[in-house]
Structure 1
Amino acid sequence: MKNNSMSYRIFYGWFVVAAAFAVTFVGFGSAYTFSTFVPSLQNEFSASRGSVSLVFSLAAFLYFGLGILSGPLSDRWGSRVLAVTGMVLVGLGLALAGMARSMTQVYIAYGLGVGLGVGLSYVPVLSTVQRWFVRRRGFASGVAVSGIGVGTLAMPPLSALLVESIGWRDAYFVLGGLAVIVGAGMALLIVNSPRDMGVAPDGDPLKIGGRSEPPKDFAVATAVKSQRFIGLYIACLLCSFGVFVPFVHLVPYAVDLGVAPAQAVYLLAMIGLGSTAGRFLLGGFADRYGRRFSLLVMFTGMALAMMIWLIATELWLLVIFALAYGIFYGGWVAVLPALVMDYFGESKVGSLIGILYTSVAFGTLIGPSAAGYAFDLNQSYTVPILASICVNLAAMVIAANTSKVSQQRLSDNVPG
């Protein structure tokens, strides 16, 4: 049988997208169930909300920060082996967290297992999707990372049901099994480049002689020194101080208002629902109206949604916040990797996305845990929410100014 994706009725790039969807669904879906486990961990280990929140922050720091290593490794070795290994680590980390006898053991098991596992897989699968598409890159990227949204929609209610029925420890065992079976299994479908299947991006035929003209790529050192990359890095760093605060603190916030925990957990599902819609709809929007402009819309939208959270004292307002925030958060995640590919080409896209995501890692390390400690001090989330609004607006201003810069030796013809 010839190794040629033209023999498939469906362009093989969509199988790669499906694999990326599964990896992000399992990896981030498992990670974003963390808010469901906060009360159990507090009760089990007599821990403060700030110290429990730090578990998520440490894991998130690793799974975004590790991209600086996994990105270059995927450029060199391909993404399949990294994604499979990552999903196995996620499953192992969750299982070991279920066996923990102290908060320190939770930090090690969850932080290293989930953090390293998602970190090994996330940037590689995202960068691979970018290589398979040009015309529909924003949409394909949106579908791939919509796994995060669907995972956020489906996994927290599942984990709440598991915690209630079999306890938090066994719930972590079940989630770990799903990570290995679904995540690692689907990751086997990943193929690093359409050229490995005998076609060009979007399923177009290769040019005569089996070669297509190579894209205009830029060296990593050149790209990261450019004003465009620096501005994008700073904007994402600022945004990330607040972007993951709701994933950790929205459920406890609702419970503090008197909402039953079984109902409060569905707020995370609403973020997932909005995020899924945002990744599908706003990814296509970005392809049509420009990915640089769309990034500004995402920053502004997240800030405006946070304003709803700031005044919310009833469940229905929290639902509106969760849906609105999810839409713009999902769009932000979908647009970023496509924008990096637009700016700097394909050959080092994994390396550059990995470097960019270290900004998200540092912001996430600080933001959710700082919000937890702020709550411990004054029993209020007002300051963390206000701070999240401000950093998103600052990110929008920086990104807007950066997008006006004409980069040295960067093509003005790229999409977006």
Structure 2
Amino acid sequence: MGGAVVDEGPTGIKAPDGGWGWAVLWGCFVITGFSYAFPKAVSVFFKELMREFGIGYSDTAWVSSILLAMLYGTGPLCSVCVNRFGCRPVMLAGGLLASLGMVSASFCGSIVQLYLTTGVITGLGLALNFQPSLIMLNRYFNKRRPMANGLAAAGSPVFLCALSPLGQLLQDHYGWRGGFLILGGLLLNCCVCAALMRPLEAPGGRQGPGPQRPARRLLDLSVFRDRGFVIYAVAASVMVLGLFVPPVFVVSYAKDLGVPDTRAAFLLTVLGFIDIFARPTAGFVAGLKRVRPYSVYLFSFAMFFNGFTDLTGSTAGDYGGLVVFCIFFGISYGMVGALQFEVLMAIVGTQQFSSAIGLVLLLEAVAVLIGPPSGGKLLDATHVYQYVFILAGAEVLTSSLVLVLGNFFCIGRRPAAAPEEAPKPPEDVRVDSREVEHFLKTEPEQNGEVVHTPETSV
């Protein structure tokens, strides 16, 4: 299959690192907020759904799991659509689908219908927005990319702080059906964000330096030849098994301890508020010159910190303990959120990122389908929330070890690259040495690429 990216600028255009990129960053901020906050925010309605349909917690947990599975599992489909039609048209269609799913869900009469509307349709719409927004962010930022990733990732906690109390408020005043209907209307803002994703163009409409880019495959599977990408994909898939479990269960955990519904929902607000500051901070730290080459190890530490927080959070026995858990979980979760796609961008580069992110999200989709439902099954069988948090922590800790050990041994065993001879210019052409030096210095940064070191390439 062939086809060139419609909205990708001409070959040789450098990332502007500003300008209209700030508008793209704002759109990515909003899209990231909706994509990641929605699966957690709908958990506020779970108790009401359990009473409405007479089902268990594991059945309602499938709503969030299917939402996340669609966000992750449709990654290759999103890559194909972006490579065929461009980012902006795909995002516009996704915004309409996301809204349609939530509006349709407000008229559902069974939990299976909710799986189809809220889970499948809304999840697909959010996926068609989320992945293209990250691709556009990667094109507009290079030197400031870690900071841009951190700021865009902060959309998740900001929207979580807003959507969780809003969901509780809507449920109290309009019931879960009215709440879903209003949330569906809010999702139309994704179409506004899609309009901001303006394709990169050369100054004055001229082609940038260098040859024209050849037509690319709609889905580039050659990324699997990169050992760094394979290690990252395996570690990320294991991480997702437990990463989203605590935010889904912490509200119900508090309610089970006798905490009022409003105070229980406030836990997600606490988590989100801490996360707001953790993500940009992690982005700024990852962008430092001395830190950026070791971003993979920083990401490994973030996962280890998150898993350790889950294990210690399992000892919480009252509302105060859960608040402390949410504070530290917000810090670690923010670090993971700010670094996960920055590390992937550093590993595969700009040209393969649209395919790489789709394939990674597909692999993670299986873990998303297993994570929260398995926690729900464990809870239904034991009625002990501590076991759920211990299981989640063990899974995230395992992922951090996979990444750091795989990274270490991959570098240690990688054969030294044979020195390449500089190409000789034709005998009849004289090339000034200063021109050659200038070319060698500027070529790695063409089209927003980052020079890869062993640390950033895993």
Counterpart check, 1:338 vs 2:337: no
**How far did residue 338 of structure 1 move?**
1.7
Counterpart check, 1:67 vs 2:71: no
- Secondary structure of the 1:311 match is coil
Give me the whole-angstrom Cα distance separating, in 2, the residues matched to 1:71 and 1:61: 16
C-alpha spacing 1:75/1:90, structure 2 compared with 1 (3 Å): same
After superposition, the C-alpha distances for 1:203-227 in whole angstroms (9 at most, x for unaligned) are xxx9x97337999x99943322322
| 2:203 corresponds to | 198
Moved more, 110-119 or 219-228: 219-228
| 2:285 corresponds to | 285
Counterpart check, 1:119 vs 2:117: no
- Secondary structure of the 1:347 match is helix
CA contact (8 A) 2:35 2:126 kept: yes
After superposition, the C-alpha distances for 1:82-102 in whole angstroms (9 at most, x for unaligned) are 222212211111111111111
**How far did residue 293 of structure 1 move?**
1.8
2:192 alignment partner, one of 176, 179, 185: 185
1:307 alignment partner, one of 288, 311, 330: 311
After superposition, the C-alpha distances for 1:64-115 in whole angstroms (9 at most, x for unaligned) are 1111220232234321112222122111111111111111111111111221
What pairs with 1:1-400 in structure 2 (closer than 5 Å)?
11-180=19-188, 182-192=189-199, 194=200, 196=201, 198=203, 210-211=208-209, 220-288=220-288, 289-290=291-292, 291-400=295-404
Q: Which runs of 5+ in 1 are unaligned?
A: 200-205
C-alpha spacing 1:197/1:38, structure 2 compared with 1 (3 Å): farther
Matched-pair identity in % = 25
Relative to the length of structure 2, the TM-score reads 0.81
After superposition, the C-alpha distances for 1:311-370 in whole angstroms (9 at most, x for unaligned) are 111112211211221222222122122222212211121110111122321111111011
After superposition, the C-alpha distances for 1:260-316 in whole angstroms (9 at most, x for unaligned) are 111111111222222222221101111221321221121111112112320111112
CA contact (8 A) 2:221 2:355 kept: no
Pairs aligned (count) = 401
CA contact (8 A) 1:16 1:129 kept: yes
Give me the whole-angstrom Cα distance separating, in 1, the residues matched to 2:338 and 2:84: 24
| 2:444 corresponds to | none
CA contact (8 A) 1:87 1:179 kept: yes
CA contact (8 A) 1:130 1:338 kept: no
Give me the whole-angstrom Cα distance separating, in 2, the residues matched to 1:10 and 1:212: 23
Q: Which structure has the greater CA radius of gyration?
A: 2
| 1:203 corresponds to | none
CA contact (8 A) 1:154 1:269 kept: yes
After superposition, the C-alpha distances for 1:216-269 in whole angstroms (9 at most, x for unaligned) are x99943322322111111111111111111232111011001111111111112
CA contact (8 A) 2:296 2:455 kept: no
CA contact (8 A) 2:223 2:352 kept: no
Q: What is the alpha-carbon root mean square deviation over aligned residues?
A: 2.8
After superposition, the C-alpha distances for 1:372-395 in whole angstroms (9 at most, x for unaligned) are 111111111232211211111111
C-alpha spacing 1:277/1:55, structure 2 compared with 1 (3 Å): same
Give me the whole-angstrom Cα distance separating, in 2, the residues matched to 1:84 and 1:209: 27
CA contact (8 A) 2:17 2:142 kept: no
Give me the whole-angstrom Cα distance separating, in 2, the residues matched to 1:355 and 1:278: 27
Q: Which runs of 5+ in 2 are unaligned?
A: 1-8, 418-450
C-alpha spacing 1:292/1:14, structure 2 compared with 1 (3 Å): same
- Secondary structure of the 1:32 match is helix
CA contact (8 A) 1:61 1:362 kept: yes
